[in-house]
Amino acid sequence: MTQMSPDAVPSRHPLAADPLPALRRLRTAAPRVFGQLHALLLTSGLALHSPNFALLLRLASSSVPSLSHRLQLLLCSPLPPTAFLANSLLLAHLPSALPLYSLLFLASPPLLRPNEFTYPALLRASPPRTALALATHSLKFLGAGAASRDRVLGAALLDAFARCGRIASCRRVFDRIVQPDLPAWNALLTAYARRARGSCCAREAAEVLELFARMVSSTVPPNEITLVAVIGACGELGALGHGLWAHAYALRRRLTVNCYVATALVEMYTRCGKMDLAEQVFAGVTDMDTRCYNAMLQGLAFHGHGRAALALFDRMCAEGFSVDSVTVLAVMCACAHAGLIDEGRWLFDRMEMQFGVTPRIEHYGCMVDILGRAGQLDVAEKLIRGMDFPPNTAMYRSLIRACGIHGKLELGERTIKELMRLEPEHSGNYVLLSNFYARMRLWEDAKKVRKEMKAMGIDKSPGSSVLDIDGVLHEFLMGDKTHPASREIYAMVQEIEVRLKECGYRPSTTAMLFNVEEEDKVDALSYHSERLAIAFALIASSPGAPIRIIKNLRVCSDCHESTKFVSQVYGREIIMRDRTRFHHFRDGHCSCGDFW
């Protein structure tokens, strides 16, 4: 009988003919089978080709239990270790490849040097903090120009910096790309849109629209991801004209209006004060999901349509869509804004038992707001003290406002101490305290708070209002005189004041807490940003056209009252979005019922 060499593989072995199909097909293998494949690659000479050995390294992630053994497999290969083989091993270990990355590239001295193929998949698979560190490594090892040379790496870096909120870094990477492709544009637009939404910053939202205009003028056609970012920015700015154009663009270019685009459109139209268009989009969604329902519920809540929100919630449950924490919070907020105390309490009490949603601090905060509006402040305080987690500042602010409205001085002062312990330097807290003391007519205490602000160098956040007229956005600050039509605007402000007084309007100066004369307080109220915006709208818009204003702060009580008079005297519908909700002023009345 002929003696067989121990290295020979029997010709009848199922893997002997060609092990490569098995390597390409298998996603996992028992250690014995993996060992056979490894041996066949070595004895047949196939392991001398990098793509073949890379297939074996991919399979090693599920077949070789020890990370050190997998690393030895690479280092002891018949080929010299290369970045290509190392990248193959890394890709097989996603999303937990960071320890292996450190062993391969960060050892002292490093075993290998990374290349432009090392980072894209790693960046996308890593959480934000890890992605930021990897992005920094890529710039260190590959240089700042690598993103411009490799589009895939550039898009991955943009995405990493965007998820970390590093807008400046994101923009620097983008500006180095000579001809940005669609993923690069989308990553940058999404970064700005996410930042605008998180910080309620008009500057980032306006930047999205400017970038989109550049993109449209280039040779890169937008897709659905682009539209979601652009439509979201329109909603933040209240730029209804731009939003309508983006919607029409999607339909004209036959882009797919899937549930993601539809949700963005619903959010945009509700944030621009066009609930009829939001409802029209919502009714046409064919691939409905919980997120789209949540967007519509939040819009109804924002506009104070509590009964409609409850009806939609019932329909959502009846159709079998899952209820999450966002759903419950939206319906509770709708109850709060509409004064539906019993309905809000019913949902809060049953959210965990009936809907499987564990109450979070946001739900407790909304319940405190509901109780505060109903004047049940002792119950609200008891709820705060009985929580399993510490209260947040938003909860305390809500309770303080309610104390001011209902005249609860002792509870208000107790809550003030807790608020200042958590945020001793927040400018909004000092303004809130001043207003609280002014409502209680404790003028010396109000003056003392203002003096403390001045001594500590704390400035009040400036109020700003954005107005959309014929697709052009106009921004006004309090006392602003930078607008080209400033002279006409201030003349119109004076005319409005005269006409409103003839109709019985009397300015309320209790919220003006500076040590100034009463006449000066009235003048200061007249130049609040929303009044300048209304004055310009009366000059520049068509007679009878609705006036849409986006304000970054809560509207003050006197501006709210004067806007009701303007809507009656000038016959205009005024839709104002402040920091907490929408106000629809029509014929001398507001949709909020004077409680916001």
**Per-domain residue ranges of the chain:** 30-113, 180-287, 304-358, 360-461, 464-590
Helix (H) or strand (E) holding 427: helix 427-439
Are residues 426 and 433 in contact, defined by beta-carbon separation less than 8 angstroms? Answer: no
Are residues 147 and 154 in contact, defined by beta-carbon separation less than 8 angstroms? Answer: yes
Query: What's the pLDDT score for residue 305?
Result: 93
Mean pLDDT of all residues in 185-192: 90
pLDDT in tens, 239-268: 888 899 999 998 998 888 899 999 999 999
Query: What's the pLDDT score for residue 63?
Result: 74
Say if residue 498's pLDDT is above 80: yes
Say if residue 302's pLDDT is above 60: yes
Helix (H) or strand (E) holding 364: helix 361-373
Query: What's the pLDDT score for residue 521?
Result: 43
pTM over 0.75: yes
Report residue 526's pLDDT band, with 50, 70 and 90 as the boundaries.
low
Percent of the chain scoring above 90 in pLDDT: 41
Are residues 442 and 478 in contact, defined by beta-carbon separation less than 8 angstroms? Answer: no
> Which of 247-261, 411-425, 431-445 has the weakest average pLDDT?
431-445
Query: What's the pLDDT score for residue 1?
Result: 39
Which CA distances in Å does 80 have to 73, 370, 481, 571?
12, 69, 70, 81
The residues pairing with 474 across neighbouring beta strands, listed in sequence order, are 467
Query: What's the pLDDT score for residue 73?
Result: 82
> Which of 185-189, 420-424, 426-430 has the weakest average pLDDT?
426-430
* Residue 589: DSSP 8-state: E
Q: What are phi and psi of 549, to 5 degrees?
A: -130, 135
Say if residue 6's pLDDT is above 70: no
Report the mean per-residue pLDDT for the chain: 85
Which CA distances in Å does 32 have to 56, 63, 89?
14, 9, 20
Tokens 């260190």 label which residue?
A: 140
Are residues 509 and 558 in contact, defined by beta-carbon separation less than 8 angstroms? Answer: yes
CA-wise closest residue to 41 among 67, 64, 23, 61? 23
The residues pairing with 547 across neighbouring beta strands, listed in sequence order, are 574
Say if residue 524's pLDDT is above 70: no
Helices (H), 143-289: 146-149, 151-163, 167-176, 182-199, 202-217, 224-237, 240-252, 259-271, 275-283
Topology of the domain comprising 360-461: 1.25.40
Burial class (CB in 10 A: 0-12, 13-18, 19+), 575: buried
Neighbours of 348 (CB within 10 A): 21
User: Which range is most confident: 204-208, 278-282, 469-473, 580-584?
Assistant: 278-282
Using alpha carbons only, give the angle 255, 256, 262 rounded to the nearest 5 degrees: 115
- Mention every residue, 6+ apart, whose C-beta is less than 8 A from residue 74: 57, 81, 85, 86, 89
DSSP symbols for 371-413: HHHTT-HHHHHHHHHT-SS---HHHHHHHHHHHHHHT-HHHHH
The amino acid that residue 259 corresponds to is: C
> Which of 98-112, 166-180, 456-470, 472-486 has the weakest average pLDDT?
456-470
Are residues 253 and 224 in contact, defined by beta-carbon separation less than 8 angstroms? Answer: no
